[in-house]
Amino acid sequence: MGIDPGTRRIGVAVSDELGMLARGVATVAVTEDGAEIGELADLARGLDVERVVVGLPLHMNGSEGERAQAARQLAEALTSRTGLPVILWDERLTTKGAERMLIAADLPRARRRRIIDQQAAQWILQSYLDQWRGPAR
């Protein structure tokens, strides 16, 4: 399961059974009481997830800011709640790339806003899957 952590919404993606293709599946609202952790854990259980890949929003120079620390806290909470391995994955420019793709697909702004987080999660997970699988043979 791939996660694009945000301050208002969290995008969620999963891969096919072979671990080759990622697809967006949900957008979870961030709440003040942290209920999103339970919702993400429920999604992981319901989708028979084996591991979670959380996007780590680094600055372009590789340093970490507040958003990266929040992603680390989310990863720790998910590990604690699910018992699953959680991998932090460099997510630089995934949301921008996903947005460019949706614009190129000529989707209206309202539709883009609804699916951008899932699309970014899909990019994060696909990047991880491509690296994990290694070069094509």
CATH code, domain with 34: 3.30.420.140
Q: Are 39 and 28 in contact (CB under 8 A)?
A: yes
Sign of CA dihedral 128, 129, 130, 136: positive
pLDDT value for 131: 87
Q: Are 94 and 55 in contact (CB under 8 A)?
A: yes
Range of the domain at 124: 2-133
Of 21 and 112, the structure prediction assigns the larger pLDDT to 21
Q: How many domains does the chain have?
A: 1
Q: Write out pLDDT tens, residues 47-94.
A: 999 999 999 998 878 788 899 999 999 999 999 999 999 999 988 766
Decide if pLDDT at 95 tops 70: no
Please give the biggest Cα pair distance in the chain: 47
pLDDT value for 137: 42
Q: DSSP H helical segments within 1-134, as ranges?
A: 35-46, 66-82, 94-104, 109-133
List Cα–Cα distances, 83 to 28, 76, 80, 89, in angstroms: 20, 10, 6, 18
Of 61 and 42, the structure prediction assigns the larger pLDDT to 42
Q: Write out pLDDT tens, residues 102-133.
A: 677 776 777 666 777 888 899 899 989 998 77
